[in-house]
């Protein structure tokens, strides 16, 4: 059986196994995975685009068709 591919962790740059045995893939460890998640949550990482006004953000109470979901 061949060795699993090793890639660079996108957070720390260290080695990370690219296999199903690594539950943190593509990260090397849970710490790096959580640091990256925190950057998304605090909007340090974001997808480029225009900022939406609050009214344009779906609040989850109604489906896009206007039907109440709960």
Q: Which of 10-19, 41-50, 58-67 has the lowest mean pLDDT?
A: 58-67
Is 63 inside any structural domain?
no
Confidence of residue 4 (pLDDT cuts 50, 70, 90): confident
Is 41 inside any structural domain?
yes
Is 70 inside any structural domain?
no
Is 66 inside any structural domain?
no
Domain count across the chain: 1
Three-state secondary structure readout of the chain = CCCCEEEECCCCCCEEEECCCCCCCCCCCHHHHHHHHHHHHCCCCCCCCCCCCHHHCCCCCECCCCCECC
Whether 14 has a pLDDT exceeding 70, the answer reads yes
- Domain limits for position 29: 5-56
Whether 3 has a pLDDT exceeding 90, the answer reads no
pLDDT in tens, 45-61: 888 888 777 666 666 66
**pLDDT confidence of residue 13:** 97
């Amino acid at each position: 059986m061949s060795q699993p591919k090793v890639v660079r962790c996108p957070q720390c740059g260290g080695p990370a196994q690219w296999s199903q045995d690594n539950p943190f893939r593509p990260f090397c460890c849970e710490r790096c995975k959580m640091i990256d998640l925190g950057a998304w949550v605090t909007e340090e990482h974001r997808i480029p685009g225009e900022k939406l006004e609050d009214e344009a953000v779906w609040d989850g109470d109604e489906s896009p068709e206007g039907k109440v979901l709960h």
